[in-house]
Amino acid sequence: MQLLDGKKTAAEIKIEVAEEIKRLKSNGGKIPHLVAVLVGNNGASITYVDAKIAACKLVGMKSTIVRLNDTVTEKELLKKVDELNKDKDVDGFIVQLPLPKHINEKKVTEAIRPTKDVDGFHPSNIGKMMLNLPTFLPATPFGILQLIERYNIETNGKHCVVIGRSSIVGSPIANLMSRNSYPGNCTVTLTHSRTVNLAEITKTADILIVALGKPHFIKPEMVKDGVVIFDVGITRIADKSKKSGYKLYGDVDFEAVKDKASFITPVPGGVGPMTIVSLLKNTLLAAKDK
Ligand code: NAD
């Protein structure tokens, strides 16, 4: 078993991004600027946004958090999005999901100008991705592709099984793995909560990408020897022995499954850090494309 070390790979990519930012600066260019809009006090969202901002600082990227109360109206949030769309100093921005129930996430996502949509969630960018045109790829799938590349994982002709069909992870990664390029050229099976005999399908996977949000769902009897596993799931479970008060669980029972896998991502330290560097790469791209 070889660990797909997202933490280490992300650290290497951060150095590359930092060097590019230095180059931009020394050529008289503008320092890329990422804005994160955070609505309310969701603990996980605060942690994610803080990690994104810390990563920006580390690579010398300008970053700003816009914090809004969870009583903010949809109209007020859309006004903020409009301001950020028009602000010439802002290269890219994200609105951290989930949003409070009274706000329509689709409406907000669609209001973000596609050239600043560094999360890659806008329908226009998703459409470009489907057509294999240059665009911002959604950060988590982009992170998985970079891990595949950096670890030289063969994808050509492989059977890739994806669990979960969310529009931010499962659906886009299923599309990307089937593209006629590297990483890609897989035969892809996209599974979800209505899939019948899931274990029969996962047992045939050469590459298994798991994004359903159920701790330790994947057990050894569900995979074949030599499988490559990307565990996207992150679930926080209260744990008094931890300083943070919780422990993070992936969707794969790592300890039980790891010896059957040829490559596997841990949780934490696998796909999570790769998602953050992908956001940095998208922001750099947004700044350069201006
Ligand atoms: P989601 O929560 O929107 O949807 C879950 C998906 O899992 C659905 O498509 C559903 O059909 C499927 N599903 C549920 N139960 C199933 C079952 N028994 N069998 C097969 N499929 C089943 O998905 P999401 O937003 O992609 O999040 C999934 C997990 O990934 C969560 O734990 C989330 O926290 C995590 N996540 C991690 C990152 C990261 O950077 N590592 C990024 C995004 C999401």
> Which tens digit of pLDDT belongs to each residue from 236-257?
999 999 998 999 999 999 999 9
Annotated catalytic residue 96: yes
Mode of pairing for the β-strands spanning 261-264 and 227-231: parallel
User: What three-state secondary structure class fits 62?
Assistant: strand
289 pLDDT tier (thresholds 50, 70, 90)? confident
Helix (H) or strand (E) holding 143, with range, is helix 139-150
Identify whether the C-beta of residue 161 lies closer than 8 Å to the C-beta of residue 189.
Answer: yes
Q: How far is the CA of 78 from the centre of ligand 1 (A)?
A: 27
Residue with tokens 């494309």: 289
- Ligand 1 atom nearest the C-alpha of 213 is 32
Residues with Cβ within 6 A of ligand 1? 140, 163-166, 168-170, 191-193, 195, 198, 211-213, 232-235, 271-272, 275
Q: What is the DSSP string of 167-218?
A: TTTHHHHHHHHHSSSSS---EEEEE-TT-SSHHHHHTT-SEEEE-S--TT-B
Whether 70 is catalytic: no
Tell me the CB-side half-sphere exposure of residue 70, using CA atoms within 13 A: 11
Q: Taking 90 as the threshold, does the pLDDT of residue 3 lie above it?
A: yes
Q: Is the confidence at residue 290, as pLDDT, over 90?
A: no
pLDDT for the residue 175: 98
Residue 250 CA, chain-centre distance (Å), reads 15
CA 174/CA 192 separation, integer angstroms: 12
> Which domains, and CATH codes, for the chain?
27-113 (3.40.50.10860), 139-271 (3.40.50.720)
Kindly report, residue by residue over 82-138, the tens digit of the pLDDT.
999 999 999 999 999 999 999 999 999 999 999 999 999 999 999 999 999 999 999
Q: Is 161 exposed, middle or buried (0-12, 13-18, 19+ CB in 10 A)?
A: buried
Q: Does 46 score more than 90 pLDDT?
A: yes
Query: What single DSSP character describes residue 260?
Result: G
